[in-house]
Structure 1
Amino acid sequence: MSGSSRPLRSTATVTGAFVLLTAVLLAGTTVPASAATTLTNPGFEASGGTQTPPGWSESSASGQQSASFTEAGGRSGTYRLSHWASSAYQVETYQQLTGLATGSYTLRAWVRSGGGQVATYLALRDCGGTEQRTPIPTTSTWTQISVTAQVTTGRCTASIVSNARAGNWINVDDLEFGPTDGSGGNPGPNPNLIRGVDISSLKKSEDRGGVYRDAAGNPRDAVQLLRAAGVNYARLRVWVDPADGYNNRARVLTMASRIKAQGMRLLVDFHYSDTWADPGKQYKPAAWSGYSFTQLRDAVYRHTYDILSALKAQGTPADMVQVGNEINDGMLWPDGRSSNWANLAALLTAGSTAVKAVDASTLVMLHLAEGGNNAQHRWWFDQATARGVPFDVIGVSHYLYWHGSLSSLQYNLNDLAARYGRPVLVAETAYGFTLDADDAEPNIFNAALQQAGGYPATPQGQADALRAVFDVVKAVPNGRGLGVFYWEPTWTAVPGNGWDPADPSSGNGWENQALFDYGDHALPGLSVFGTV
């Protein structure tokens, strides 16, 4: 462990009162540490390096309350909470809140961890329902995480738990607890935050019989349902000549009308392909395959201008535009690969110039995958800025199970925002609510990816993972964290709406990451958009 992060204190006296507390807790009786609706000593500044933080209690199934203590080295103040011992240990630091109105409550904390524990997590328990947990990630930098629970009994216990091996450590500081919707003095939702969804598959789903219901089971128009849940931005991908006739110019115009009618803003995502474009494939549209590079550059301009001018003409202008999708290795291969930055810069500039020619107020985003890969992103944007590529926003995809921890995302976004002086956002993220499948196509999100992602594949785990990504973006300094887009929340397992536009019989490997369950009911993750 690093010298700056490891606990400074390794032993403490275990008093008889703590032993008695442990016995009572293990017997199933909750001992209130605070009769209040807000946390006492949330930053551990009243602690002064003591064994037990004032306002908090400690318990241990192994009699090792001494593994929980406060010490110097706080995130924003002088002190922090640490869990550490020279032998294997199990310890909980907790505080009970009472007098709570019925509703949804969120606990947030800034954490660090050296990793290696059997389990370590932030939890809300004894709130009236199932205990809710969020794992504490392995990270050497302070990272904010959160957990949300429904309170129905007037009380709830905020808990920090470690089941750890010898020498494992965590640091915790600057906790916040309050109503998820911001009532009761909490900051509450930020009205300017982008709460976005990519609904590119929605029209095809509906045309094939897809149904969307609210949490009570009532069928609803999907776009209206998303807007009512707090979504304020929608993303639509554009393919040039797709085999199934969806995600083309006509379909984008139709969907844009529905999106704007709900008062939502619009992000248009140009793939510059007839099919999926991502870091592993950036295929030219068939109609452009024989073009010279000059013709290819001009085609990018014309295609971009054509779609955006048509949207503006029908009164549904794009508010933001992606020039390319996940273009870590460029686009329109082989001409525009990142091994030929002169060509790539020319293509990107053509697309960006077309955007501004239609409407100078439309924001241009450049979008990469691997949101925790700071070294690659620095290299990429250094190349783009050195060649004068015009853009307004940096977008990243970050799937926790593919692209790394919350802390790697946080470090990268903070660095990119400061280094290039642009706002940043997460243009794609998602998480599974189950490991079961709803069709014959194997799901992308499986047990191995659940383990990598760190959150349980449950409806609440999905919601907590999404909220955690929002928390990271909201914490970007100087207000440069714009928001988050959830990728394809309405892509449920509807026959005929599979992954391959050229194969009507293909299945959907994404349905367990939708925000609707296998009975088409809205999941708890959808409610996150109205509370961040």
Structure 2
Amino acid sequence: MGKKRKWKWVATSMTLAFSMIAGAVIFLQAGCDVKGAKKNEGITKSFIRGVDISSIIAFEEAGQKFYYANGTQGDMFDILKDAGVNYIRVRVWNNPYDTQSKLGYGGGNNDIAKAITIGQRAKARGMKLLVDFHYSDFWADPAKQYAPKAWKDYTLEQKADAVYDFTYDSLSKLLLAGVDVGMVQIGNETMGTMAGMGGLYDGIWNLTSGVGAAMQKGCEAVNTINNEYGLSGEKAILKALHFTDPNTTATWYAEQAALQGIDYDVFAVSAYPFWHGSVDELATSLKNVAKTYNKKVMVAETSYPYTFANADSTGNNVSSLSDMAYSDYEVSVAGQKEAIEAVFMAVASVNTQSGTNGYGLGGFYWEPAWIGVDTAKSGRYGTGFASKVSGNYELLFHDKVIEYATEDKGSSWDNMAMFNSTGKALDSLQVFRKIKDKAAN
């Protein structure tokens, strides 16, 4: 998501309650060995070594060049493949453009057309695509899950049907364009809220007030696509649900999804080591979900700062130690590499647990190419986290702009990138090659 926050979107009492539930589950299943998070074990041949580079087209249109570590200019997809990346994640917004001005909201202006272009370039390098449907016209995360403009006045039932239709239509376009779609996210960091339904809007967080039904409709759309295109077995498109806070509330949400009978395949989490806690706790949570609910698991988003320096005029979300709830790793290129390897190995440890071999799918680094932005260009190309017209979308739901912007913004994530401010690859990018080399023979 764009301007990321420490998750202060739920009342303290609710978070504590979820934590107690999750803690109870972990205590009851304490037999799960978390040492795998520290060992070079569990990396399968198909282990996902992914990145989310949704903003890449916007950067290229703005004239930004990217370079291998030796200074040679290259295509971003070639640079990533050379570094060991095998999977690309791309966010999809329904209509990320202002109704009046027709300008984009920013964040890459990622609609289905851009997803197709990114997916085709990934396919040409032998990479699969994870399609991250936000079911919104702009950033959806635990602080905001606005419905698309076109769905604003829909009933809960109409929204569920719209989720089906948008998912089905988008996947049809991707497949007809030759994209190798491997997985679909039915929502982004949903946490009990999606498309203007659920906790943020009615105080009901357990998926019962429209969210679970919409998630199920999204899964049914993927099932229909799989059937119509003859995609089965290892070729079937996987259906993922995406939550945050893996060490506290995620286990509770796995239970809620089960209670709602949602037909999904992959339980995905955001796992930022500086906000969410230790990799040992992450390994335990993922093992519990995999074993208890018979679901594959993965990290849909992770990252770590390599510096506290800011590369543009927009402040970063993590600009000092005070912005980090946890600082287990050094803030440096080496520390970034170490932190991300540890996160991926936590997922791999699921494959060392009895009964869940192959359930630990891998992970995705979030926006490793979102370097500093020339704010003068961001409104035109969508390179910043939000443009001056993005606030118009929020005003459809609020009487003032809080989450988006009324002026063009830059990157709030440039110190998390795996490229320096000039676009040159950092050594930390080679973490994917290192993980690939650990694959079991």
Q: Tell me the TM-score normalized by structure 1.
A: 0.63
Find the counterpart in structure 2 of residue 407 from structure 1: 280
Verify the 8 A CA contact 2:186 2:219 in the aligned structure 1: yes
| 1:484 to 2:363 alignment | yes
Contact 2:275 2:325 in 1 (8 A): no
Residue-pair matches, total:
353
Q: Kindly provide the amino acid, as one letter, of the partner of residue 530 in structure 1.
A: R
Q: Does 1:349 align with 2:222?
A: no
Tell me which residue corresponds to 1:512.
415
Aligned equivalent of 1:499: 385
- Cα distance 1:390–1:142, how it changes in 2: closer, same or farther (>3 A)? closer
Give the counterpart of 2:260 among 387, 408, 412: 387
Aligned residue number for residue 337 of structure 2? 463
For 1:303 and 1:498, the matched residues in 2 are separated by 26
Quote the offset at 1:421 in angstroms. Answer: 1.0
Partner SS state of residue 308, structure 2: coil
- Return closer, same or farther for 1:142/1:313 CA change in 2, 3 Å cut-off: closer
Cα distance in 2 for partners of 1:356, 1:395 equals 19
Partners of 2:43 and 2:369 lie apart in 1 by 23
- C-alpha displacement at 1:519, in angstroms? 2.7
Q: Aligned pair in 2 of structure 1 residues 390, 498: CA closer, same or farther (>3 Å)?
A: same
Distance 1:335 1:189 in 2: 37
For 1:199, the equivalent position in structure 2 comes to 53
2:165 is equivalent to residue 302 of structure 1: yes
Shift of 1:329: 2.2
Which amino acid in the other structure matches residue 197 of structure 2? P
Aligned-pair distance for 1:451?
6.9
**Structure 2 spans left out of the alignment, 5+ residues:** 1-31, 98-103, 228-235, 391-404, 436-441
**Residue 139 of structure 2 is aligned to residue 276 of structure 1:** yes
Q: Which amino acid aligns with 2:358?
A: G
* Distance in 1 of aligned mates of 2:198 and 2:166: 17
Structure 1 residue 479: Cα displacement: 3.0
Moved more, 262-271 or 475-484: 475-484
* Structure with greater strand share of residues: 1
Aligned residues of 1:209 and 1:494 also touching (Cα < 8 A): no
1:166 corresponds to which residue?
Answer: none
Q: Which residue does 1:370 correspond to in 2?
A: 245
In 1: Cα distance, 2:151 partner to 2:251 partner: 31
Evaluate the alpha carbon distance shift between residue 210 and residue 189 of structure 1 in structure 2; reply closer, same or farther with a 3 A threshold: farther
Q: CA deviation at 1:481?
A: 1.0
Residue number in structure 2 paired with 1:17: none
Greater relative contact order (Cα < 8 A, sep 6+): 2
Q: Distance in 1 between matches of 2:320 and 2:86?
A: 32
Name the SS for the 1:395 alignment partner: strand
Distance of 1:339 and 1:190 partners within structure 2: 34
Q: CA deviation at 1:494?
A: 2.6
Deviation of 1:371 after TM superposition, in Å, equals: 1.7
Whole-Å separation in 1 of the counterparts to 2:123 and 2:214: 29
Cα pair 2:95 2:111 within 8 Å, conserved: yes
Deviations 1:395-452 (A, max 9, x none): 1100011111112111101111110111111110000111111001111122224572
- In structure 2, the residue matched to 1:224 is 78
Match of 1:332 among 195, 206, 210: 195
After TM superposition, list the pairs within 5 Å mapping 1:410-421 onto structure 2: 410-421=283-294
1:330 to partner: Cα distance: 2.1
SS of aligned partner of 1:296: helix
* C-alpha distance 416-451 of structure 1, shift in aligned 2 (>3 A): closer
Residue 322 of structure 1 aligns to a residue whose secondary structure is strand
Asked if the contact 1:308/1:317 (under 8 Å) is kept, the reply is no
Q: Distance in 2 between matches of 1:339 and 1:461?
A: 37
The change in CA–CA distance for 1:381 and 1:241 in structure 2 (over 3 A counts) is: same
Distance 1:320-1:188 versus aligned 2 partners, 3 A rule = closer
Structure 1 Cα separation of the partners of residues 373 and 313 of structure 2: 11
Alpha carbons of 1:214 and 1:289: their partners in 2 closer, same or farther (altered >3 Å)? same
What runs of 5+ residues in structure 1 fail to find an aligned partner? 1-139, 147-174, 177-186
RMSD: 2.1
Q: Contact 1:208–1:494 (CA<8 Å) still a contact in 2? A: no
- Equivalent pair of 1:143/1:406 in contact (CA under 8 Å): no
Measure how far apart 1:453 and its partner are. Answer: 2.8
Change over 3 Å in CA distance of 1:488–1:420 after alignment to 2 = same
The answer to whether the aligner puts 1:320 opposite 2:183 as a matched pair is yes
SS of structure 1 residue aligned to 2:361: strand
TM-score (norm 2): 0.76
- Please say which of residues 378-387 and 222-231 is displaced more in the overlay: 378-387
Aligned partner of 1:289 among 123, 129, 152 = 152
Please state whether the residue corresponding to 1:445 is helix, strand or coil. coil
Corresponding residue number in structure 1 for 2:126: 263
